[in-house]
Amino acid sequence: MELQAAERIPEGVEAIVVALHPGEEPPSDIPAVSQRRLSWADFQAKRGEQVVGSASPDGPVLVTVGLGSVNSAEDEAESIRHAAASAVRAASGVQSVALVLPGSSFDIAGPSLCGQALAEGALLGAYSYDAYKSTSKPRGPRTLVAIGGEGLGGGIARGEVIARAVSFARDLVNAPAGDMTPRHFCELAVERVASRGVLSEIWDEQRIRDERLGGLMAVAAGSKEPPRLLKLSYNPSGRPRPALAIVGKGITFDSGGLSLKTADGMMTMKTDMSGAAAVVATILALAELGVDLSVVGFAPLTENMPGGAATKPGDVFRARNGKTVEVLNTDAEGRLVLADALSLADEADPMAVVDLATLTGACVVALGRDVAGLFANSESMASKLISAGARAGEAAWRLPLYAPYREQIESEVADIKNIGAPGQAGAVIAALVLAEFVGARPWAHLDIAGPARSADDKAYLRKGGTGFGVRTLVEFASSVDEELLSSFAAEVA
């Protein structure tokens, strides 16, 4: 889909989409009959509400979508994402669409954010994964023209970069696990970022063994598919020290290992590498946008399978940082591969670390499918990430790194064990395990087990992988500098 910005509706468009808040009237240059049709339809302009009609028998299709009542620029941007997604779906049978935002949108959020949100909603709403279908048809029009004033075009350009990066993450997640192996994931990722000045390293199983990544090797032991460790470095200013490290869980298929999942529990487990996909897509977007912040990314990649050599409950491994871990549940494997990746991130000496992982079902129980769990050892860093997520349209809720629960992961035979008390604070326990490998630096953990996958088509989400976390991390990295990241360290215990 081609996105354009214009000051007025072009001649010849096949559909006109008008977005309105409650109580607003269409712009004066929309045909009067359109206003009468709105009145006849008793249109209330609730978010997601839409009415389809026509300006005249020979004229363009008219689609009116609601923005709902909003209280902030963040709310307005999310409403525009929804409206743009509704526009491309409602006008999927035409070639060209004009989307008209009310002047109040620009007053609330500003033209740049409006343009960015519009592009994100339109492109993500039109997303489809058709790689394995014999035939496919495009979703949405070929051209969408956004009607607005100065500054809209720059926001659209930014939104396009971010939306296409999110779509790449969705593609990685939605591919069948039999094809999206650790090796293939690395090939696709390196190919995509290479032209953007991003440096990459791929560690094979021998290098992983030599580098003492005991957690990654323990999880990979039962699979015939060899593991990989992917490292990406984006350093626009040639600084010797990365400002930010991002780490993503990359279990390309999770059977649970010898602690085998149910058949239903395995149905969506190709999604378990969503964190790794988000790391790649984030660095891709930052490089394309030219964000002036050095970032290093780590993605530990493996399958978790119940082969003859698989790690058994009660086995112990030594992680990269020297700590030993007793594995009592092989289905709590994400924290094991992240242990090594977080250790590597700590060794890179960044000013702050963020990890993303589809880590625990407990977080889904606590927060549902729309909200990520956020754990952090810095109040300021947590606040900054939550604010970035709000601007990006990705919700996160702070959960506690409750120190007294640390005793639950004390092991009789090793330094720690990988699970705590059954049925109690599972997301908190997982975060406390990760904290053992971070070192003394600002760190935040996003448990994205819920929002990484959508069960249905909903607004600008499509059933399947959502690419959650990419927009939050791009917004976060775009809104901080080295001085601010360094200041978070004062709060780390």
Indicate which residues carry an active-site annotation.
Answer: 261, 335
Q: At a CB cut-off of 8 Å and minimum separation 6, what does 366 contact?
A: 373, 399, 427
Distance of CA 184 to the CA centre of its chain: 20
Distance of CA 276 to the CA centre of its chain: 10
User: 329 φ, ψ to 5°?
Assistant: -140, 115
Strand order in the sheet with 416-417: 315-318, 324-327, 416-417
| Cα dihedral sign, 461-463-467-468 | positive
Q: At a CB cut-off of 8 Å and minimum separation 6, what does 126 contact?
A: 1, 85, 88, 89, 138, 139, 140
Burial 387-406 (b: 16+ CB within 10 A, else e): bbbbbbbbbbeebebeeebb
| Rounded Cα distance, 9 and 26, in Å | 13
User: 439 φ, ψ to 5°?
Assistant: 85, -170
Say how many Å lie between the first and final Cα of the chain, rounded: 49
Q: What 3-state DSSP class applies to 487?
A: helix
| DSSP code per residue over 307-344 | -TTPPPTTEEEE-TTS-EEEES-TT--HHHHHHHHHHH
Helices (H), 348-408: 361-367, 379-392
Structure tokens at 456: 């249905």
CA dihedral (381, 387, 391, 392) in degrees, to 10, reads 50
Q: What 3-state DSSP class applies to 32?
A: helix
Spatial CA neighbour of 88 closest among 41, 36, 39, 19 = 19
Burial 196-222 (b: 16+ CB within 10 A, else e): eebebebbebeebeebbbbbbbbbbbb
| DSSP code per residue over 280-317 | HHHHHHHHHHT-S--EEEEEEEEEE---TTPPPTTEEE
